Amino acid sequence: MLTSVCLMAALLAPAADAVAPVRPVHRLWAADAPGAKGTTPADIPTLTVYAPEKPNGTAVVVCPGGGYGGLAMDHEGKQIGEWLTARGVTAFVLVYRHAPKYAEPTPKLDVQRAIRWVRSHAKEYSVTESRVGVWGFSAGGHLASTAATHFDAGDPKADDLIDRQSSRPDFAILAYPVISMEDGQTHGGSKRNLLGMKPTPEKIKEYNNHQRVTANTPPTFLFHTTEDKAVLPINSILFYTACVEHKVPVELHIYEKGAHGVGLAQRDPVLRTWSDRLDAWLGTRGFLPKN
């Protein structure tokens, strides 16, 4: 009887010891990253791979936020990777270098390298090289918008095969992003961590990413809330307006209610619908094709 009871309890118990999915973690550079100041985890930018069972060919480099001084790896990293893989998209969650050890241009170098890395390993992960996007939140949204506005076609003569790849994303998703570095518009902590205490006017302009938009900026989806007091919605509006002026396909959703840093807002019955809008946009743009 005792054996039967134990067996029944085991069958009914939750699978607490279920094996978690193995998610490969790759260094962006096999050797020390450019400008590395040490060999600790804080000095090593990486990509964690979230691979779907049936990849549809689309990939996204995910940039968690954190004011360029940390990384919100759960609700702006892990949860996003899982949301993407549920739709057949291969996600690559980026750990990029940031303050207090690193300032610009280091985060930009890391996200550019991440996009090149994904393209270089496209066949390995059943990714189509022309369907590699970037998704960022808050300061990670600034980094994603940097990727969308500061890019190059790669160096065809580079000894490192990864550096031969383009760093231009094929689409960008910007969630409550920092866009402007101007006082009164920007997020002060992000600006200080990225540019230092006294950036030059030229450096501020360089990272005013709405001023970097051109006709070659990739299609962009933006999400923000009116109530966001940390990163004002003017940031998304500025980028949206610049895209419209340069005839870049763009979609903007600003919800009235909702604080900063909500991620997918899974517990808010209204705000959580923003990801439905994103899902539809990705389908319209052809990045969620039928398997």
Residue 201 lies in a domain: yes
Given a cut of 70, whether residue 291 has pLDDT beyond it is no
Residue 32 lies in a domain: yes
Q: Identify the DSSP state of 21.
A: P
For residue 168, give the nearest of 115, 122, 214 by alpha carbon: 115
- Amino acid letter, 6: C
Rounded Cα distance, 129 and 132, in Å: 6
> For the ranges 8-12, 167-171, 176-180, 203-207, which has the lowest average pLDDT?
8-12
Q: Tell me: the pLDDT tens digits for 141-152?
A: 999 999 999 999
Report CA-CA distances (Å) from 127 to 52, 68, 81, 120: 11, 29, 15, 10
User: In total, how many domains does the chain have?
Assistant: 1
Residue 254 lies in a domain: yes
Percent of the chain with pLDDT over 90: 91
Q: Tell me: the pLDDT tens digits for 176-185?
A: 999 999 999 9
27 sits in which H/E element: strand 25-27
CATH number at residue 67: 3.40.50.1820
Q: Where are the beta strands (DSSP E) in the chain?
A: 25-27, 46-50, 59-63, 90-95, 132-137, 171-175, 220-225, 250-255
With beta carbons less than 8 A apart as the criterion, state whether 207 and 146 touch.
yes
Q: How many CB atoms lie within 10 A of CB 26?
A: 15
Range of the structural domain that residue 44 is part of: 21-284
Residue 243 lies in a domain: yes
- Amino acid letter, 161: L
Q: Model pTM greater than 0.85? A: yes
Residue 1 lies in a domain: no
Residue 180 lies in a domain: yes
Predicted pLDDT of residue 18:
57
Q: Grade residue 21 by pLDDT with cuts at 50, 70 and 90.
A: confident
Given a cut of 60, whether residue 8 has pLDDT beyond it is no
Residue 164 lies in a domain: yes
Q: Could you identify the residue written with the tokens 């998610």?
A: 23
Residue 11 lies in a domain: no
Q: Identify the DSSP state of 26.
A: E
Sorted by sequence, the CB contacts under 8 Å of residue 255 that are 6+ apart come out as 223, 224, 225, 226, 270, 271, 274
Q: Tell me: the pLDDT tens digits for 119-174?
A: 999 999 999 999 999 999 999 999 999 999 999 999 999 999 999 999 999 999 99
